[in-house]
Amino acid sequence: MDAHVAGLFRHPVKGFTPEPLTAAGLTAGGPFPCDRLFAVENGPSGFDPAAPAFVRKQKFTVLAAMAEVAKARTAYDEATGVLTAKAAGQPDLSAKLSDPAGAEAFCAWLAGLLGEAATGPLKLVQAPGHRFMDHPLGHVSIINMNSVRDLEAKVGRPIDPLRFRGNVYVEGWPAWVENDWEGRTLMVGFARAKVFKPIVRCVATHVDPTTAEPDMDLVKALFDNYGHMHCGIYVHVTDGGTVSLGDACTTPHPEAA
């Protein structure tokens, strides 16, 4: 089955704007580059930068907790560490996130945007080498575009694939075949990866990433139509390499299980 990379995205600040890429370098055992480097606490989360560990996403300003997050349009400059943020009714912001003053400025800007949806003090958190993933072992996420289209046909409405906040979007795989690939190996561009598990979806997918409105119950739609709540897979990179738009994505053979 011929398949190729149709989209590559990183999310430098957990919960905020997906940033498109033309290529990315994947490393063995590593996460997707510049993905979920930062998160914003909505009140104390228990995260300790000196001993970073997994914290549930509900502790942060994410779509699963507050749809208003999607009103922000953010972009991160990896070279300078500067985040730009825009939203209707808010002044444009440019802040260096590694600078305490810049981090505080972003949180103040965000508090103005979120209003009463933010129930606790907002604080930007990070730690060298740590990523704020939805699953502690969710290194790299892949979305099968034909699975999204099959779900679209079931609900009778267009579904923006960015609702699923994946890193790699693949064209050419039959719908839902990825749910049976746990433990199998595939090539993603010039990197080799092992499928970890299907991704269980939550209410974050209900939010339209353009309008910031919760307008579709996709968790219920998945369960009602397929008997599961999966869309996409997590993979672990076993051999590093570059992945670019248009690169091939192989289909695992049964004997590779």
- Residues 74, 114, single domain; the answer is yes
Is 226 part of a structural domain of the chain? yes
**In the prediction, which pLDDT does 2 show?**
82
Q: How many CA atoms lie within 13 A of 1 on its CB side?
A: 17
Q: Residues 110, 72: contact at Cβ < 8 Å?
A: yes
- Residues 151, 238, single domain; the answer is yes
Tokens 């919960």 belong to residue: 15
Q: Is 125 exposed, middle or buried (0-12, 13-18, 19+ CB in 10 A)?
A: buried
pLDDT at 207 exceeding the cut of 60: yes
Q: How far apart are CA 11 and CA 141, in angstroms?
A: 12
Name the phi and psi angles at 163, rounded to 5.
Answer: -60, -25
- Residues 150, 210, single domain; the answer is yes
Q: Determine the average pLDDT of the residues in 216-220.
A: 98
**In the prediction, which pLDDT does 257 show?**
43
Tokens 């400059």 belong to residue: 77
Is 130 part of a structural domain of the chain? no
Percent over 70 (pLDDT), the chain: 98
Residue 229 sits in a domain whose CATH number is: 2.40.33.20
Domain boundary among 103, 125, 147: 125
- Residues 151, 233, single domain; the answer is yes
The DSSP bridge pattern shows strands 230-239 and 23-26 to be unpaired
- Residues 98, 209, single domain; the answer is no
- Residues 141, 252, single domain; the answer is yes
**In the prediction, which pLDDT does 96 show?**
98
- Residues 231, 113, single domain; the answer is no
- Residues 203, 250, single domain; the answer is yes
Domain boundary among 125, 145, 173: 125
Is 246 part of a structural domain of the chain? yes
Q: Determine the average pLDDT of the residues in 177-184.
A: 97
pLDDT at 255 exceeding the cut of 90: no
Q: Determine the average pLDDT of the residues in 118-124.
A: 95
Q: How far apart are CA 97 and CA 90, in angstroms?
A: 19
- Residues 91, 115, single domain; the answer is yes
Structure tokens at 90: 């808010």
- Residues 164, 61, single domain; the answer is no
Amino acid sitting at position 142? I
Report the chain's mean pLDDT, rounded to a whole number: 96
- Residues 251, 149, single domain; the answer is yes
Is 172 part of a structural domain of the chain? yes
Question: Could you report the per-residue pLDDT of 25-74, keeping only the tens digit for each?
Answer: 999 999 999 999 999 999 999 999 999 999 999 999 999 999 999 999 99
pLDDT at 244 exceeding the cut of 50: yes
Domain boundary among 98, 125, 152: 125
Confidence of residue 79 (pLDDT cuts 50, 70, 90): very high
Q: How many domains does the chain have?
A: 2
Look up the domain containing 215 and give its range.
4-31+135-256
Q: Residues 43, 125: contact at Cβ < 8 Å?
A: no
- Residues 143, 234, single domain; the answer is yes
- Sign of the CA dihedral 29, 32, 34, 36? negative
Q: How far apart are CA 36 and CA 14, in angstroms?
A: 5
Q: Determine the average pLDDT of the residues in 233-237.
A: 98
pLDDT at 145 exceeding the cut of 60: yes
**In the prediction, which pLDDT does 24 show?**
98
